[in-house]
A and B are shown apart, each in its own frame.
Chain A
């Protein structure tokens, strides 16, 4: 559910797949030492990894967005008291302790970045993708947001205001994307299925997938 269909970079190989083998060995040796010293519990490491691989991810944020689309009172609470509104759906906690939700409209487009490191709303989106943490995105999102969005296949009209949120403090940002036309008959769960991670970071829009199109 994180894909932008037709993204120009969607098929190329990634240099981060070429990991030096000694790095994997070094981390293994470090873990063994820390376990032997009683500094870490390997079962706790398993539980942390399992949480972010299987339990906490962009599906959380997608359910928040879908609820806001179908329930105007919830949308209002989400935009004014994000922490409490997100907690209503059972989400929150680590790297989502202080949430701000910013709403896209036909005249305002929001984009989230952390220029100083990799701050990201884990509680609703899970761990950030590599591109979000990378130098190309972090360096250019603030100086050339329209160029960055163009790289993601999104061309914004001149009369749309772009607001970039550089999340360098403890507030974490979630974009509430526009609900696409033609979705009036969809259920809340079906709507959540349309909401991509990228739309909630602000580098994409939510699209109604064409019939038969690849995910």
Chain B
């Protein structure tokens, strides 16, 4: 979707605020929000792509105003309601519905080290014939889906060169919506800065973007 989260190339966002000795979390609620989101993901009712999409769906003005982990919480609440893990009534009252069973959390403290050390690889060991080879010229497709995509607006329609073939990965555009993994090749594509931004950019510079096969066409 073409919302404000897709902000590569925008002006007007102000200066970068670098903080000395920045803590990992600025307040305890940030850590709790972070951990709640990770722990609830273990119910496997949504995907990480789906969580990203839910954050993108926050209205643009709110997206720019909200704290980072505030957005995580807002997305988590919507995902839980959609998945039926909690109701709006429960979330508003803070009390479980009468007669609702007490469940067993999928993530316990003992399982945390393994969860972190294993991660959740998005690569898939499946055959998929590469459509493109390193050095080949490609064009990023001009798509404007209303749903989730990881093809940034600033690259759409632009010419690039295949730099590397990373192998086969889950496709976020479908996986976010629980419409299947549709594993496909991901390529690192080099775009000359001037192709993206015109003559104001340095003739030497480039932006590399990792792109799923479906984002590309031969040029």
Residues of A within 8 A of B (CB): 2-4, 7, 9-12, 14-17, 19, 23-24, 26-34, 36-41, 43-49, 51-53, 56-57, 92-98, 100, 113, 115-118, 123, 126-127, 129-131, 133-143, 145-146, 148, 151-152, 158-171
Contact = CB atoms under 8 A, between A and B. Distances in A.
Contacts of A138: 7-8, 13
A31 B32 contact: yes
B107 interface: yes
A10 B18 contact: yes
B150 interface: yes
Contacts of A164: 205-208
Contacts of B188: 100, 171
11 contacts: A10-B18, A28-B29, A44-B109, A47-B109, A48-B116, A94-B118, A136-B15, A139-B10, A162-B205, A168-B152, A169-B212
A94 B208 contact: no
Interface in B171-219: 186, 188, 193, 196-197, 201-202, 204-212
A33 B95 contact: yes
B24 A48 contact: no
Given A9-B18, A49-B34, A98 B123 contact: yes
A56 B116 contact: yes
Contacts of A152: 16, 18
B122 A38 contact: no
B17 A41 contact: no
Interface of B: 5-11, 13-22, 24-29, 31-36, 38-40, 43, 52, 55-56, 64, 67-68, 70, 73, 76-77, 85-86, 90-91, 94-96, 100-105, 107-109, 111-113, 115-123, 150-152, 154, 166, 169-170, 186, 188, 193, 196-197, 201-202, 204-212
Given A14-B17, A45-B32, 7 more contacts: A15-B17, A30-B76, A37-B85, A40-B40, A94-B120, A117-B55, A135-B10
Given A28-B32, A47-B112, A163 B205 contact: yes
Nearest to A160: B204
A46 B110 CA distance: 11
A39 B85 contact: yes
Contact of B207 (A44, A56, A116, A166): A166
Contacts of B201: 143
B94 to A, nearest CB: 5
Contacts of A161: 204-206
